[in-house]
Structure 1
Amino acid sequence: MKVFKYGIYILITFLMLSCDEKPEPLQVEVFESSANGNKLTRLTEFSTAVEAVDVKIIPEEKFQTITGFGGSFTEASASLLNQMGKANRTGILEAYFGESGARYSLTRTHMNSCDFSLSNYSYAPVEGDIELKNFSIEEDKDDIIPMIKDAMALSKDGFKIISSPWTAPPWMKDNNDWRGGKLLPEYRATWAQFFSKYLDAYKEQGIGIWGFTVENEPLGNDNNWESMHFTAEEMTDFVQNDLGPTLEANGHDVKILGYDQNREHLKEWVDAMYANEETSKYYDGTAIHWYASTYEVFPDALQYAHDKAPDKHLIQTEACVDAEIPKWKEDAWYWKKEATDWGWDWAPEEDRHLHPKYAPVNRYARDIIGCLNNWVDGWIDWNMVLDKQGGPNWFKNWCVAPVIVDPNNDEVYFTPIYYVLSHFSRFIRPGAKRIGFESSDSNLLVTVAENLDGSIAVILFNEGNVGKSVRLTLGESNVVIAINAQAIQTIIIK
């Protein structure tokens, strides 16, 4: 009997001690980029307010698997790198692909020329060459291919490449022009073989292509630069009866992504692409751009596209600060709502409200977070490197890149956009799962992903002019940190 009482005493004492024990605080690493000058800076001390925003992580809620983040290999970017000194060339590529940098994992390039090429060109320039006997990627061997190979050498984990044509050779089109027009029916088989030839040619260079988009901006771009038009039904018919079977017959294991333009027309495209099993067969996913608005993510359209094909990719393949000449070494501009886009001047009246002035940093951070929270599994920026004019670009279609260079003086400027992109690409790795969260403040943008190594990346964006305290909770543990005004943070929970 005494032993029994003694056992009860030990049990009660243990329970009392257990009740008094407090959960260990969350162990976190915090990295911030902000308007006050932080650039992916690791923070260890925080000045916190009494009232904190509550952000609760819900790891049992799982969403899409992440394919990756990155930017694009263009002839413009590659030609500029060729003009830089060896140290700066290597430094830029290390900053994008190296372990000390952004660790880009998903990229894009153009098949044939685009507006960010130095001139118009095609790999099949000989008219009537339906067997593509003269097919050659020689044009890419001076710039794009060396840039990709140098990036591959620096990337520990490697990266995927999506290739996109802006147009077929003019001789395959009904208007015999680089701009606009449609693919002639008699060249559908030849154009499908063109994709296969491209895969073989790049493989010979030691470069694997992970995926294709069928056509960049098939709705056109007012015929300003290289383009070729498809309706949703025409593209699906080409993929179903020509491109898919050709790549399959030639033994190519490559992803095919449809659409590849702005989100406001997404519903009509996925309706055609995924109408039934036959139309869906060769599509591996849908590609989108962001140019329909400077602030709107179009969450309903993204959710609809996911629901239509929940087992397919949904990848943002192009975004940039368009219709602007870069501001050189002027960080403050990238945080201010002074930028305008093409729609500021040219949007139809009913769409003008979608194109107000915006802060470039805000546009990037809001869009990537909004995309992730609405099933997008990959996000790709446009040019990696441009010059102080926003080119080179044969059409003089000036834009901004995360890295701006002055090749004449061998100078490099990493804009705040570079650091915003790094908050995602460096810390959310391929294979990660987006997971659930609850936040008490809708003005603090949040997204959360769990990496394959078990680490959790929490991205916070505070675009307001007042700093915030944040209580981050996972299970029974929490930690209180602070985020500055106009700041983006990545919080890593080991």
Structure 2
Amino acid sequence: MKIFKYSLCLLLVFTIMSCTKKQDTLVVEVYETSASGNQLTKITEFPKGETVDTIHLLPEKTFQKITGIGGSFTESSASLLQRLSKENRDKIIEAYFGETGARYSLTRTHIASCDFSLTNYTYATDEGDVELTNFSIDEDRDDLIPMIKDALAVSKDGFNIVASPWTAPPWMKDNKAYVGGKLLPEYYESFALYFSKYIDAYKTEGIDIWGLTPVNEPHGNGNNWESMHFSPEEETDFVQNYLGPKLEADGKGAINILGYDQNRAGIKEWVDVMYKDEASSKYYAGTAIHWYESTYDYFPEDLQYAHNKSPDKYLIETEGCVDSEIPKWRDDEWYWSKEATDWGWDWASDKDKHLHPKYAPVNRYARDIIGCLNNWVDGWIDWNMVLDKQGGPNWFENWCVAPVIVDPDNDEVYFTPIFYTMVHFSRYIRPNAMIIGVHKTDDSLMVTAAKNPDGSIAVVLLNEGNTAKNFSLTLDKKTINIRVNEQAIQTIIIPTKTK
């Protein structure tokens, strides 16, 4: 009997020791950008504090595959680079595309002019030239094409380009103007040819186009700068019966046509038409969206609706920026403060005014990217990569902010906190990464996670609050205690083969 009791005691001791055995430590690298001054700073020591919350990674639960993350080539950005010293031009291109920089993998550019061009221009100037015999991209040769080529030269993995026209050549439209109006049906075929010639012309320059949108912002922009109106039915008719068949006939069937290309709140109406049936869906590779509907709401229900309507197609954010603001020069604090206003602060209707409060630019970027990645968006593209201290150049004086601001007259460059925010995602979440499941106990933290093709896992989190947070990060049976500062973004990398 005594032997039995002694054995039972030993069993209980070993069981308790086994249950309370310290979990294996998870090996991680942590990088932080914060209002307190961190700029992608590597964090190796964490102040002690009570850890009551957890972030548990669920790699077995997978969602969408990432297409890429990046920004846009515009004539405004490219012309500014031409005015800088070679040293600063190279510095900016390396920062965006080099191995030591953001490693942008998905980009956008405009087909002919947009508001962020120096003037209005088109590639087909001869009215009535339906065969586009005098089509020319010469307007792009001084700045836009060189910027793209410089980026390609330093990008180790390369990047994809989505190209969008803001309008058809004015002579193809009912109002014969760059701004507003509709594409006349008798020119649908010529406009489809316009895209095909553009793809060929850029390929001759050594630049491959990965995707197209039929037009930027088909609802228009208040008739302020280049625009052309399409209804969902009109655009789908153009894609289904003209653009898609033309690209296919010209051997360009692999080009990805992304429909819509405007704010998320209108996406339901569009995908209902785009993906109505097999015929309407055939040439659409996916849907493009913008963020200007709100300064804080990323519209998760609308994103989920669009995904569910056609789960196998792309859902890509093709434009977002701090609009209606003149950039603050070398004032990091402003980018973390709720002082920015957007177009809706002044112009939104009364019923939509609540969607446009003041906001902190860094938080808006991080919130939106995390919110998108957690709701089936597979690509996220920022707008201008480089602007000047005025927020241009812009022929309409539609001033905006870019991650990199330059003073070309004095050959100075300012990498804003928005730049570092973008790097937290683009450098560490690579093309073909899979978004994975996350369970967290602190609702005030925004978190997304992706498993990269090399097996590494990137976790990006945002702490908008004014208090630092302690949490444990767990993967399988390994864990580590981490602290994120107040008003901070962290990227946590779990290298390959940590199991």
TM-score (norm: length of structure 2): 0.95
Shift of residue 16 of structure 1? 11
2:343 matches 1:336: no
Contact (CA 8 Å) 1:52, 1:468: kept in 2 or not? Answer: no
Match of 1:134 in 2: 134
2:26 matches 1:41: no
What letter is aligned with 1:275?
K
Query: Aligned equivalents of 2:332 and 2:19: distance in 1?
Result: 51
Residues 40-81 of structure 1: per-residue CA shift (max 9 Å, x gap): 000000013213321000001000000010000000000000
Match of 2:377 in 1: 376
Match of 1:4 in 2: none
Map 1:206-245 → 2, pairs under 5 A: 206-245=206-245
Match of 2:90 in 1: 90
Match of 2:483 in 1: 482
Match of 1:256 in 2: 257
Q: Runs of 5+ in structure 2 lacking a partner?
A: 1-13
Query: Aligned equivalents of 1:86 and 1:366: distance in 2?
Result: 35
Query: Aligned equivalents of 1:48 and 1:33: distance in 2?
Result: 20
What letter is aligned with 1:350?
K
Query: Pairwise CA RMSD of aligned residues?
Result: 1.5
What letter is aligned with 2:481?
V
Contact (CA 8 Å) 1:124, 1:136: kept in 2 or not? Answer: yes
Match of 1:247 in 2: 247
Contact (CA 8 Å) 1:232, 1:268: kept in 2 or not? Answer: yes
Shift of residue 156 of structure 1? 0.4
2:281 matches 1:280: yes
What letter is aligned with 1:361?
V
Shift of residue 24 of structure 1? 2.2
Query: Aligned equivalents of 1:51 and 1:490: distance in 2?
Result: 19
Match of 2:101 in 1: 101
Distance change (3 Å), C-alpha of 1:20 and 1:52: closer
Three-state SS of the structure 2 residue aligned to 1:284 is strand
2:399 matches 1:398: yes
What letter is aligned with 1:214?
P
Contact (CA 8 Å) 2:388, 2:405: kept in 1 or not? Answer: yes
Shift of residue 22 of structure 1? 4.2
2:436 matches 1:465: no
What letter is aligned with 1:304?
Y
Match of 1:113 in 2: 113
2:308 matches 1:345: no
What letter is aligned with 1:309?
S
Residues 264-323 of structure 1: per-residue CA shift (max 9 Å, x gap): 111000000000100000000000000000000100000000000100000000000000
Three-state SS of the structure 1 residue aligned to 2:62 is strand
Distance change (3 Å), C-alpha of 1:471 and 1:394: same
Match of 2:322 in 1: 321
Match of 1:9 in 2: none
2:144 matches 1:144: yes
Query: Aligned equivalents of 1:259 and 1:48: distance in 2?
Result: 49
Query: Aligned equivalents of 2:132 and 2:78: distance in 1?
Result: 26
Shift of residue 382 of structure 1? 0.2
Three-state SS of the structure 2 residue aligned to 1:412 is strand
Shift of residue 244 of structure 1? 0.2
Contact (CA 8 Å) 1:65, 1:377: kept in 2 or not? Answer: yes
Shift of residue 15 of structure 1? 10
Contact (CA 8 Å) 1:48, 1:468: kept in 2 or not? Answer: no
Q: Runs of 5+ in structure 1 lacking a partner?
A: 1-13
What letter is aligned with 1:390?
G
TM-score (norm: length of structure 1): 0.96
Match of 1:10 in 2: none
Distance change (3 Å), C-alpha of 1:21 and 1:443: closer
What letter is aligned with 2:450?
A
Match of 2:308 in 1: 307
Match of 2:413 in 1: 412
What letter is aligned with 2:317?
Q
Contact (CA 8 Å) 1:48, 1:481: kept in 2 or not? Answer: no
Contact (CA 8 Å) 1:462, 1:486: kept in 2 or not? Answer: yes
Residues 443-474 of structure 1: per-residue CA shift (max 9 Å, x gap): 10000000000000001100000000010000
Query: Aligned equivalents of 2:201 and 2:100: distance in 1?
Result: 32
Contact (CA 8 Å) 2:51, 2:481: kept in 1 or not? Answer: no
Residues 165-223 of structure 1: per-residue CA shift (max 9 Å, x gap): 00001000000000000001111000000000000000000000000011100000011
Query: Aligned equivalents of 2:43 and 2:352: distance in 1?
Result: 41
Query: Aligned equivalents of 1:482 and 1:120: distance in 2?
Result: 51
Three-state SS of the structure 1 residue aligned to 2:72 is strand
What letter is aligned with 2:478?
S
Contact (CA 8 Å) 1:217, 1:259: kept in 2 or not? Answer: yes
Contact (CA 8 Å) 2:212, 2:256: kept in 1 or not? Answer: yes
Match of 1:166 in 2: 166
Deviates more, 1:118-127 or 1:14-23: 14-23
Match of 1:426 in 2: 427
Query: Aligned equivalents of 2:317 and 2:123: distance in 1?
Result: 26
Query: Aligned equivalents of 2:321 and 2:234: distance in 1?
Result: 28
Contact (CA 8 Å) 1:48, 1:480: kept in 2 or not? Answer: no
Query: Aligned equivalents of 2:238 and 2:492: distance in 1?
Result: 45
What fraction of aligned residue pairs are identical, expressed as a percent? 69
Query: Aligned equivalents of 2:332 and 2:240: distance in 1?
Result: 47
Match of 1:8 in 2: none
What letter is aligned with 1:104?
Y
Three-state SS of the structure 1 residue aligned to 2:284 is coil
Distance change (3 Å), C-alpha of 1:196 and 1:471: same
